[in-house]
Amino acid sequence: MPKDALVHGGSYWLPREGSSFADSTDWLFYGILGLTIFCFVAITIAVVYFTWRYRARPGHTAEKSNAHSDSLEITWTIIPSIICVFIFVWGWQGFSDLQTAPTNVMDVQVTAQKWKWLFKHEGLDIQVGQLHVPVDQPVRTVMRSEDVLHSFFIPAFRIKQDVIPYRYSYTWFKPTEPGVYRMYCAEYCGTGHSMMKTVAVVHGKGEKKCTADMPADAKCCDLKRDPLGEHCSYEQWVGGYQETVIMSKSPAERGEFFYNQLGCKNCHSIDGTKGKGPSFKGMWGASHNTNKGAVVVDENYVRESVLEPQAKLRAGFGPIMPTFKGKLNDEQIGWIIEFFKTLK
């Protein structure tokens, strides 16, 4: 994906506003920031002034005073209390907005797994590695974790929600501007945590299909050229993805596509470098030392390693790979095998 596909912008403090939450969240942030700066400056000035005013010096005796002012004490108790209540109410309103999805939401199923995100969209059979949503449509994410605690974080949308094993968690948002936004995992989840990032694509409305007479850099919908479908509407993306992006490729290319999409590349290189898992280069037909003895890499070994990664552990590598049971069917595993055969 070209770098400029990502939406940049925003202010010094905050990323660009990409959802309906951004406005109120940012006002609260700036409000608290302004208040703390004001208090910090006022208190610092007072401390410096009093230090100078009442410093020890010749001819100056310390003042002794039993002065006590009820009105002063009441004032400095009441005013901060009012400010605290004000901040609480303001924050609580925003929090309850974030917790309460409207009834016309579109659900997206989200799976977090060491170390990738997978999304299941309505109307698309396969899971993909990016989140796709239509602009101005409230979207609810129904999230679960396959292993440990992760956190779903899209800074431009001002949402962050823990994703917890053995239970569902939810968040919702209404994207307000088409574009491609960065998405992260915001909970340390192991050695691959920093690689657990992807993008959220907000599709515009009424986007045009590319035609032959348009220039090559025209902003139009062509899933062959841009599988992310940045300039496609959501309907164009969902409708064309399976056919255009996957089935139009050769089986080995489809395998490569899944290798990139499903996060395999985070741990397995294809150029021979050792990652968290063995490199796939030159693997096909080779003999591997495993904890169950020597194994020749063939169809059965690959299939078993995808579905039950811990069945045979290659020497020198830990039991960290998650299973792809339920995420890849046998036909798709066949495409991955075809891809492996090309990695001589």
Q: For the chain, how far is it from start to end, CA to CA, in angstroms?
A: 26
Rounded least distance, CB 143 to ligand CUA, Å: 12
Rounded least distance, CB 113 to ligand CUA, Å: 8
Nearer CB in complex with ligand CUA: 251/322: 322
**What residue spans of the chain are helical by DSSP H?**
22-53, 70-99, 234-240, 251-261, 299-307, 330-342
Q: Which amino acid is residue 82, in one-letter code?
A: I
Nearer CB in complex with ligand CUA: 151/236: 151
CA distance linking residue 69 with residue 171, whole number of Å: 50
Rounded least distance, CB 179 to ligand CUA, Å: 24
Nearer CB in complex with ligand CUA: 184/280: 184
Rounded least distance, CB 263 to ligand CUA, Å: 11
Nearer CB in complex with ligand CUA: 160/314: 160
CA distance linking residue 80 with residue 89, whole number of Å: 14
In a 10 Å sphere around its CB, with 0-12 CB exposed, 13-18 middle and 19+ buried, how is residue 264 labelled? buried
Nearer CB in complex with ligand CUA: 197/314: 197
In a 10 Å sphere around its CB, with 0-12 CB exposed, 13-18 middle and 19+ buried, how is residue 113 labelled? buried
Can you tell me which of 132, 150, 254, 327 binds ligand CUA, judged by CB under 6 A? 150
Across-strand partners of 118?
Answer: 111
Rounded least distance, CB 309 to ligand CUA, Å: 18
Rounded least distance, CB 145 to ligand CUA, Å: 8
Tokens 């069917």 belong to which residue? 329
Touching ligand CUA, residues 180-199 (CB under 6 A):
185, 187-189, 193, 196
Nearest CA to 171 out of 108, 90, 234 is that of 108
The two tokens of residue 44 are 């610092």
The two tokens of residue 36 are 């703390």
The pattern of x and - marking residues 78 through 117 that bind ligand CUA according to CB under 6 A reads ----------------------------------x--x--
108, 159, 280, 343 from 336: Cα distances, Å? 26, 35, 11, 11
Answer yes or no: are the C-beta atoms of 259 and 279 closer than 8 Å: no
The pattern of x and - marking residues 24 through 63 that bind ligand CUA according to CB under 6 A reads ----------------------------------------
Rounded least distance, CB 163 to ligand CUA, Å: 8
Nearer CB in complex with ligand CUA: 126/196: 196
CA distance linking residue 328 with residue 190, whole number of Å: 24
Rounded least distance, CB 115 to ligand CUA, Å: 6
Nearer CB in complex with ligand CUA: 101/183: 183
Rounded least distance, CB 271 to ligand CUA, Å: 25
174 sits near ligand CUA (criterion: CB under 6 A): no
| 3-class state of residue 318 by DSSP | coil
CA distance linking residue 320 with residue 311, whole number of Å: 12
- Residues of this chain that bind ligand CUA (CB under 6 A): 112, 115, 150, 185, 187-189, 193, 196
